[in-house]
Amino acid sequence: MSGGGWNVIRCSACSTCHGHRSIGRICPHCGQKLPSDAEIVTSVATASELRIEVALANTPEELRETLRKRLYENNKLFHQEEPISFQSLPKILHDATDESGILSLKTLQPVLEKSNNGMELENLIDLAESQGLLVRLNQDCWQLLE
């Protein structure tokens, strides 16, 4: 793949995917050096597609189609009207995390209600994950990335 595109690359050491302009040198997840023949899961044209495809590549296969629809839907919304919710998203997330940067649905719910931004909890999480603001740790727990 050459030109202006992005690749979704799977690390052979930890099986986690990340995006890179070409073949990355080092896996951002586990720090392993990547071989020049590292697996390219898919190639996309834009950074926003890349965010979605990386999130999808790191999602169990049986959940992928559902998530794909939701992420592309959110992506469309996001590009159409640049909602206020996106502006305040980092602040909402920040307010909902504890000292170690961990956030759960339980801590996010009241903050989201107070913010009045009208977004569904799940959509907000999806959006935050697709924007690379949050990484899911388990079913009900996310790490906020600064």
What is the binding site for Zn ion (CB under 5 A)? 11, 13-14, 27, 29-30, 32
CB of 8 to Zn ion, least distance (A): 13
CB of 35 to Zn ion, least distance (A): 12
CB of 29 to Zn ion, least distance (A): 4
CB of 79 to Zn ion, least distance (A): 31
80-91 burial by CB neighbour count: b if 16+ within 10 A, else e?
Answer: eeeeebbeebee
Strand positions, DSSP E, the chain: 6-10, 17-20, 39-44, 102-103, 134-138, 141-144
CB nearer to Zn ion: give 30 or 145.
Answer: 30
Angle, alpha carbons 140-120-136 (nearest 5°): 25
Half-sphere exposure of 142 (CA within 13 A, CB side): 25
Distance CA 74, CA 59 (A): 17
